[in-house]
Amino acid sequence: MAARPLFRALIMGPPGSGKGTISERIVKTFGLKHLASGELLRTNIRQETEVGLLAKSFIDEGNLVPDDVITRLILHELKNIDQYNWLLDGFPRTGPQAEELHKVYQLDTVMKLNVPFDTIKERLTSRWIHPGSGRVYNTIFNPPKVAGIDDLTGEHLIQREDDKPETVISRLQAYEDLTQPVLEYYRKQGILLVFSGTETNKIWPHVHNFLNKKLPVLC
């Protein structure tokens, strides 16, 4: 029997739309490898790599990291998971990034989370993360068992530098200006699906049903 072709998916949406939260559920249910550009950059910042030092000032201001830097980083990481089904989160988010990715990998599907901006602003100011793993909490939506402490490691949670209200506005602006053309690019390819709502728990069943038609469920 011929091997099933590898599945290449992308999740897009404005900052705080729930990409990370839904990706975690996709990974758990369908076993895709997950590569999140923001997470990768934050790891580089913590490890004080050359890329991390360069990226920090852009991220802290709510601006995008230069295309060539993030593209090189992501394409390098994708090589390591080449033999698996994967889900990209947060890359590409400009036209040039989408074109560079397309030279190497053709996506099967692009899932866009369409969440109103007012809903998003509230979520980001109540987000807490575990810096070591990138695990995400929210004091209202999915609080840790003990306030300020990671459920699995018992280590302290922190707030992301770029979740300050003024930085959130710059990030939303960058999304509007630079990422909208990417959606158009995928819409033209006929692979864009939009999932709208204000609650992840209501969006997730639709994402699940959609992926279920394409992939075997793990659990």
Segment lying near ligand G5P (by CB under 6 A), choices 64-72, 76-84, 185-193, 210-218: 64-72
Segment lying near Mg ion (by CB under 5 A), choices 18-26, 50-58, 100-108, 127-135: 18-26
- The string of DSSP letters for 101-164 reads HHHH---SEEEEEE--HHHHHHHHHTEEE-TTT--EEETTTB--SSTTB-TTT-PBPB--GGGS
Distance of CA 201 to the CA centre of its chain: 17
- Other Cβ atoms less than 10 A from the Cβ of 18: the count is 27
Residue 130 engages ligand G5P in binding (rule: CB under 6 A)? no
Judged by beta carbon, residue 19 or residue 135, the one nearer Mg ion is 19
- C-alpha distances (whole Å) from 35 to each of 3, 74, 213 are 23, 8, 22
Options 19, 42, 112, 123, the catalytic residue: 19
Instruction: Mark whether 187 is an active-site residue.
Output: no
Residue 58 CB, nearest distance to ligand G5P (Å)?
5
Instruction: Mark whether 33 is an active-site residue.
Output: no
Instruction: Mark whether 46 is an active-site residue.
Output: no
Q: Which residues bind ligand G5P (CB under 6 A)?
A: 13, 15-21, 37-38, 41, 58-59, 62-65, 70, 90-93, 97, 123, 127, 136-138, 140-142, 162, 171, 199-200
